Amino acid sequence: MSGLFTRNRLIGLGIAAFIAAVDQAVKWLVIEPLALRQVRHIELLPFFDLTYTENRGVSLGMLQATNMEMRFLLVLLTGAIAAVVFVWMMRERKLADIAALALILGGAIGNIRDRWSLGYVIDYADFHIGTFRPFLIFNIADAAITIGVVIILARSLLVREKDDDSDNARPLKAGETEQ
């Protein structure tokens, strides 16, 4: 059992727990003390506001949960995806891969908790340049998921892993065979 919970995997589980906890803490902060649900919009910076939205779908508002059955199915679907990410994370060895998957897992847990307890995901982060909004309104969980996916894609496209045997390998000369 100790082989399963290596140092890197424990770090990954810690990252996932941290992301989920920070996501929920910030959502509580914007809903309770800042009363964003009531005021709907708070201007913070020339390029960043807090804007309250309820996302009843998944990514980009797809698969809207318009009733209890759909809500339950979305929780099951996102829970299954989170389980796959967890298993994947527990199979990885490299900290960079584990950390990227942990960001996705932590974000998924934060959004699943919202969907389970509220029926929707609370979004509030509104980045904009004037009236141009390059992103939909999002939350920390969404940002963590996006960053994790970008890291995984970048590592799969840019980082070339060498096989353990490739360091000792040399091209075969004419007439030679592998031993």
Tens digit of each residue's pLDDT (9 = 90 or more) over 84-105: 999 999 999 999 999 999 999 9
Q: Mean pLDDT over residues 106-123, rounded?
A: 94
> Which domain covers residue 93, as residue numbers?
7-158
What pLDDT, on a 0 to 100 scale, did the predictor assign at position 132? 83
Q: Which residue do the tokens 């804007």 mark?
A: 51
Q: Is 168 contained in some domain?
A: no
Helix (H, G, I), strand (E, B) or coil at 95: helix
Q: Where are the alpha helices (DSSP H) in 32-139?
A: 36-39, 68-91, 95-118
* pLDDT at residue 107 in the model: 97
Mean pLDDT estimate for the chain:
86
Annotated catalytic residue within 142, 163, 164, 167? 142
Axis crossing angle, helix 95-118 with helix 140-158, rounded to the nearest 10:
150
User: Does 113 map to a domain?
Assistant: yes
175 is a domain residue: no
Q: Could you read off the pLDDT of 138-167 as tens digits, one per residue?
A: 999 999 999 999 999 999 898 776 544 444
Mean pLDDT of 67-80: 85
Least confident of 21-25, 67-71, 98-102, 112-116: 67-71
Pairing of strands 121-127, 41-45: unpaired
Q: Is 167 annotated in the active site? A: no
Residue 179 falls inside a structural domain: no
Report pLDDT for 136: 85
Type of residue found at 145: I
Adjacency order of strands within the sheet including 48-55 = 41-45, 48-55, 121-127
Locus of tokens 């140092």: 7
97 is catalytic: no
Give me the catalytic one of 123, 126, 164, 165. 123
What's the pLDDT score for residue 93?
Answer: 92
pTM of the complete model? 0.81
% the chain with pLDDT above 70: 83
pLDDT at 35: 94
Total domains present in the chain: 1
Tokens of 39: 């005021």
